[in-house]
Amino acid sequence: MRMIRSLACLALSLTLTCGLLAAPARAGDPAEVMQQWYRLVLELVRHTATYSPPVAARAFAYTGIIAHEAQVGGPGGGVTLAGQVNELTALPARDPGLAYDEAIVLNAALTEAVDAFFFNTGPTGQRAMEAMDKALSAQLAEGVDPQVLRRSVDHGQAVARHIIAWSDGDGGAVIDNMGFPETWVLTPGPAHWVPTSTVALQQKPLLPYWGNLRPFALPDGATCGLPPPPDYSEDPGSDFYREAKEVYDAVNALTPEQTAIARFWSDDPMLSPTPPGHWISIAMTELQIEGADGPRWGAVMARLGITLADSFIGCWHTKFEYDLVRPVTYINRVIDPNWQPILITPPFPEYPSGHSTQSGAAAEVLAAVFGADHAFVDGTHLDDGIPERAFASFQAAAEEAAISRLYGGIHFRAAIERGLTQGACIGAYAVALRMSE
Amino acid sequence: MKGIVLALALMTMALAAAAASGETAIPRFAEETAPSGLAHSFTGEWTFMVGGGAAVFDCNGDLRPEVLLAGGTAPAQLFRNDSAPGGALAFAALPDSGLAIDQVSGAWPLDIDGDGITDLALLRVGPDRLMRGLGDCRFEEASADWGFDGLDLWSTAFAATWEKGQSWPTLAVGSYIDRRQEAFPWGSCTPNHLYRPAPGGGYGAALPLSPGFCALSILFTDWNRSGRPSLRVSNDREYYKGGQEQLWHFPADGPPRLYTPEEGWAKLRIWGMGIAQSDVTGDGYPDYFLTSMADNKLQVLKDPASGKPQYADQAFKRGVTAHRPFTGGDPRPSTAWHAEFTDVNLDGRVDLYVVKGNVWQMPDFAEKDPNNLLIQNEDGSFTEAAETAGVLSFAEGRGGAAVDLNADGLPDLIAVNRNAPTQVWRNLGGPGMGHFLALRLSQPQGNRDAVGAIVEIRAPGLPVQTREITVGGGHGGGHLAPLHVGLGTAETAEIRITWPGTAGPGPWQSLAADRVWLLAEQAKPVPIAP
């Protein structure tokens, strides 16, 4: 069975990477519209310089909500999130007496969404967005009554614009300087974060105010907060030293499997679809295997996007509450001045681990969507020459994603284990959203 | 020639009060774009968002180099250099050079057929062309005659080397995206190609150098001073998947192969756009400045004795990150393209010229993105001097060159801008300028310009400077001009040369400063100007 699923995944991954656009979409199929736009969105996230993981997660949330809300009022379109997520007001309604083409509504909405949330992508991304819009719009319009076409486009655009206007007020719409503030005072003391690279921009931490953004399902960034990390100490008998020594020893004795795990989940910005994009990719594959329809796609992408975005807000709130030093800094100072982790240490405080929080949240949501024991094969990085990995459940994948950061040498155990806990807490808020009748 | 003699004599007098204070001297430049007649623009949209370079070389034998500018959608244009020695820059567009070819993204001068007349490699969005120099700044296409299949790719990078025993150069052409891909071009990087000489001259079939990761600059470089250059490739991470920077072995007894992690090659993934090479640290090994977006690198070989190509990034330490505009009020990160080490104040320490410009309306990056002129201080750090020196430009830069255009011993600067006029600045010198040597290496046949030679220069009060004669790197172009070296206050210097294919350096030879010397293999140095 695993072999069959693996082959299915490979086939789907190849489909994802080998030119969906080249194969005409089935006219009027909203699921196909979702697949095509989301394939492009994953590329745009990877190739837009500002899209660090928190920023990417925000875009996934709004794009998913637009995809869901565009289908509300249509056949099987589910329940609006207005009134359920923070400050989202009632959306433009359809005229119940008139006909709409669901694929055209969705395509119009996603075209607006991608234009808005990836306006800052480079010339190649702009060209790709234009090509996608042109090709899909032409395919979907074939044989459709012009009045239905116009009405459907108008409705999709109106829904998208309502949500885009709502997004403007969350505190995350403008990202200056790729997210690195020009001025920021480092917290004094050895326990606190200091730059870990010689990249000039990264002498300040990434997005230190992100924890203050308006979340989606989460009441605020402080919800699902965590207790403090182990007290900083350089005493070899202390918990803090033991955690650092664990990272040091682990990296120095990595097995090939542990190295593979660290690299599989690394998901570096600009070189991958980012960590939240990794979970979006997993969900896309499972939806394709399932043969999900458009409303199901929209609901899953909305719920998953929401929890990913909320998890970065919550995690960042905690990160800057404690502002903890990274392993490489501590280990070089206290244990071994020449030690280096195998992964690039991200340019922001250590506790908790963002990978762990967002993976814990994603697993919570995907388990609710597909089942707690849903086994799957993850081929997110096949294009990059990284082999797929199989998991018995989303929770198992989340736990592997979390521990990968210890193998990579960039997180202590407390940040990993408590990050998963924080993620589960945040995920529960997204799971509680009512999205179907 | 008399003019050059006078200019250099005046220059020598001006240098009499050369720097002794220890303070970094900043030369003054004057922009002479309009009055010089260098009127040309590199134009185009998506397929010309990269490329756009200058080939600088002397095609009429007057020791003042001509300038060929890539045009993108416009024809390339060759300009004859009519500058009076030591005087204002002056250029005349040559309508009948044979180089008015469109879709040109870059150009590099080199003598391909070893006839003593400089030829050109023209990179294009479309089939590349090799242009045979006919003398007197006239050229004709020789691709077919030389068996060169230019392929139909988006070519973006070029380098050449003479492999051992060969009288024709091995050419390497870097390529970019599969331009037919509209919605999903990412991951579509096409292979780079290698053209090795065929027996008797010319070329055989192009050999793909796979994987290609969207190269924007490539350079044959003897990174470990083994006498056998490797191929350094700087790749644009925007478009590759599973890619990284690359270093290729060129073994004598087999096909090229990539350096591996086991050999010490560490994965580096940047928006690689340009390579500049020089020995900044004075250890005798080349260091590399790699341009990128927001994050330029100065790579210094960690441990030459290890034999491993492991590099430390010293950009931050030395103040050459050049990661955001230093003036103009645009706080967004920079986009850097052509880079070149040059000694603009002749103090014996290489400086760094970086051409910058937004890719194409990318709002995450600075749109007012000034070029950098980073002057090296005595302690090895660099100080930004573009504004003080008078070379401030906010145009959308791409290629460039730092070459003495008016035979006064001072490097002048060119910036090729996208959809805007190319700019040129004359180096006027100023207080504290040093002395210089200009060295034109020559071999009797084949590799006439001694590409691959290592030149060491030692002068009192300065570390030994080590330079390699290369063809390649930069962004979109390069120059074939006498090797230019600052000497500080020294009025004589000693040089020695490791000629290509020889086992070790020749003897030290003493040369008087402030002259252009012809250094023919197994012959005594001859001053050719003044």
- A360: domain CATH number is 1.10.606.20
- Write the pLDDT tens digit of every residue in B114-152: 999 999 999 999 999 999 999 999 999 999 999 999 999
> How far is the C-alpha of A24 from the C-alpha of A135, rounded, in Å?
9
Q: Indicate whether A258 belongs to any domain.
A: yes
Do A384 and A236 belong together in one domain? yes
- pLDDT tier for residue A311 given thresholds of 50, 70 and 90: very high
The whole-number average pLDDT for the span A37-53 is 96
- Write the pLDDT tens digit of every residue in B289-332: 999 999 899 999 999 999 999 999 999 999 999 999 999 999 99
The whole-number average pLDDT for the span B334-354 is 98
Give pLDDT, residue B22: 60
> How far is the C-alpha of B201 from the C-alpha of B425, rounded, in Å?
40
> How far is the C-alpha of B252 from the C-alpha of B255, rounded, in Å?
8
Do A154 and A190 belong together in one domain? no
First to last CA, chain B: 7
Q: Which of A108, A133, A167 is the last residue before a domain boundary? A: A167
Cross-chain residue pair B321–A200, CB shorter than 8 Å: yes
On whether the CB atoms of residues A75 and A124 are closer than 8 A, the answer is no
- Whether residue B500 has a cis bond before it, omega within 30° of 0: no
Strands B54-57 and B479-480: parallel
How close does chain B come to A273, measured CA to CA in Å? 11
Look-up of token digits 């295997």: A289
Q: Which residues contact B341 (CB under 8 A, 6 or more apart)?
A: B276, B277, B278, B280, B289, B350, B351, B352, B353
Nearest to B8 by CA among B409, B484, B452: B409
- pLDDT tier for residue B529 given thresholds of 50, 70 and 90: confident
Whether B365 has its CB under 8 Å from any CB of chain A: the answer is yes
Q: Indicate whether A176 belongs to any domain.
A: no
Q: Indicate whether A174 belongs to any domain.
A: no
Give pLDDT, residue A22: 38
Comparing CB atoms, the residue among A123, A201, A270 nearest residue B361 is A123
Do A226 and A322 belong together in one domain? yes
The answer, yes or no, to whether residue A400 has pLDDT greater than 70, is: yes
Half-sphere exposure for A380 (CA within 13 Å, toward CB): 27
Nearest to B51 by CA among B31, B29, B71: B71
DSSP states of A277-346 as a string? Answer: HHHHHHHHHHHHHHT--HHHHHHHHHHHHHHHHHHHHHHHHHHHHH-BPPHHHHIIIII-TT---SSPPP
Residue B203 DSSP symbol? B
Q: Indicate whether A239 belongs to any domain.
A: yes
On whether the CB atoms of residues B112 and B101 are closer than 8 A, the answer is no
Give pLDDT, residue A188: 98
Residue B223 DSSP symbol? T
Indicate if the alpha-carbon torsion angle B201, B205, B209, B215 is positive or negative: positive
First to last CA, chain A: 33
Do A323 and A382 belong together in one domain? yes
The answer, yes or no, to whether residue A10 has pLDDT greater than 80, is: no
- Whether residue A352 has a cis bond before it, omega within 30° of 0: yes
The answer, yes or no, to whether residue B1 has pLDDT greater than 70, is: no
- Write the pLDDT tens digit of every residue in A185-242: 999 999 999 999 999 999 999 999 999 999 999 999 999 999 999 999 999 999 999 9
SS3 sequence of B432-469: CCCEEEEEEEECCCCCCCCCCCEEEEECCCCCCEEEEC
On whether the CB atoms of residues B427 and B29 are closer than 8 A, the answer is yes
Whether B139 has its CB under 8 Å from any CB of chain A: the answer is no
- Write the pLDDT tens digit of every residue in B222-277: 999 999 999 999 999 999 999 999 999 998 778 999 999 999 999 999 999 999 99
Q: Indicate whether A310 belongs to any domain.
A: yes
Whether A257 has its CB under 8 Å from any CB of chain B: the answer is no
Q: Which residues contact B160 (CB under 8 A, 6 or more apart)?
A: B108, B110, B112, B121, B169, B170, B171, B172, B220, B451, B471, B472
The answer, yes or no, to whether residue B340 has pLDDT greater than 70, is: yes
> How far is the C-alpha of A23 from the C-alpha of B183, rounded, in Å?
13
> How far is the C-alpha of B469 from the C-alpha of B497, rounded, in Å?
11
Q: What is the largest CA-CA distance in chain B?
A: 62
Q: Which of A134, A167, A200 is the last residue before a domain boundary? A: A167
Q: Indicate whether A173 belongs to any domain.
A: no
Residue B425: both structure tokens together: 């600045």
Give pLDDT, residue B252: 78
Do A63 and A192 belong together in one domain? no
Do A15 and A160 belong together in one domain? yes
Whether B331 has its CB under 8 Å from any CB of chain A: the answer is yes
Do A224 and A160 belong together in one domain? no
Comparing CB atoms, the residue among A40, A48, A201 nearest residue B294 is A201
Give pLDDT, residue A2: 37
Q: Indicate whether A331 belongs to any domain.
A: yes
Comparing CB atoms, the residue among A120, A182, A383 nearest residue B187 is A383
How close does chain A come to B238, measured CA to CA in Å? 6
Helices of type H across A18-122 = 30-47, 53-71, 102-117
Do A159 and A190 belong together in one domain? no
| Domains in chain A, number | 2
- Nearest residue on chain A to B323, alpha-carbon basis: A200
Cross-chain residue pair A49–B293, CB shorter than 8 Å: yes
Residue B294 DSSP symbol? S
The answer, yes or no, to whether residue A9 has pLDDT greater than 50, is: no
The answer, yes or no, to whether residue B161 has pLDDT greater than 60, is: yes
The whole-number average pLDDT for the span B492-509 is 96
Q: What is the pLDDT of chain A when averaged over all its residues?
A: 94
Cross-chain residue pair B182–A131, CB shorter than 8 Å: yes
> Mapping DSSP to helix (H, G, I), strand (E, B) and coil, where does residue B59 land?
coil
Give pLDDT, residue A216: 98
Cβ atoms within 10 Å, residue A120: 18
Q: Indicate whether A68 belongs to any domain.
A: yes
- Write the pLDDT tens digit of every residue in B405-436: 999 999 999 999 999 999 999 999 999 999 99
Residue B178 DSSP symbol? -
Strands B153-161 and B471-472: antiparallel
On whether the CB atoms of residues B371 and B332 are closer than 8 A, the answer is no
- Write the pLDDT tens digit of every residue in B450-480: 999 999 999 999 999 999 999 999 999 999 9
R_g of chain B computed on alpha carbons: 21
> How far is the C-alpha of B156 from the C-alpha of B161, rounded, in Å?
18
Do A205 and A268 belong together in one domain? yes
Comparing CB atoms, the residue among B45, B185, B332 nearest residue A128 is B185
Q: Which residues contact B143 (CB under 8 A, 6 or more apart)?
A: B127, B128, B129, B130, B149, B150
- Nearest residue on chain A to B179, alpha-carbon basis: A124
Chain A residues touching residue B313 (CB < 8 angstroms): 198
Do A357 and A232 belong together in one domain? yes
Cross-chain residue pair A270–B242, CB shorter than 8 Å: no
On whether the CB atoms of residues B415 and B354 are closer than 8 A, the answer is no
Cross-chain residue pair B360–A386, CB shorter than 8 Å: no
Q: Is B68 exposed, middle or buried (0-12, 13-18, 19+ CB in 10 A)?
A: buried
Chain B residues touching residue A178 (CB < 8 angstroms): 294, 333, 364
Q: What are phi and psi of B340, to 5 degrees?
A: -155, 135
On whether the CB atoms of residues B421 and B410 are closer than 8 A, the answer is no
Q: Which of A116, A140, A167 is the last residue before a domain boundary? A: A167
Give pLDDT, residue A12: 43
Do A101 and A14 belong together in one domain? yes
Give pLDDT, residue A15: 40
- Tell if the pTM clears 0.90, that is, is over it: yes
Q: What is the pLDDT of chain B when averaged over all its residues?
A: 95
0.85 surpassed by complex ipTM? yes
Residue A143: both structure tokens together: 């044989």
Do A245 and A288 belong together in one domain? yes
Domain that holds residue A416: 182-431
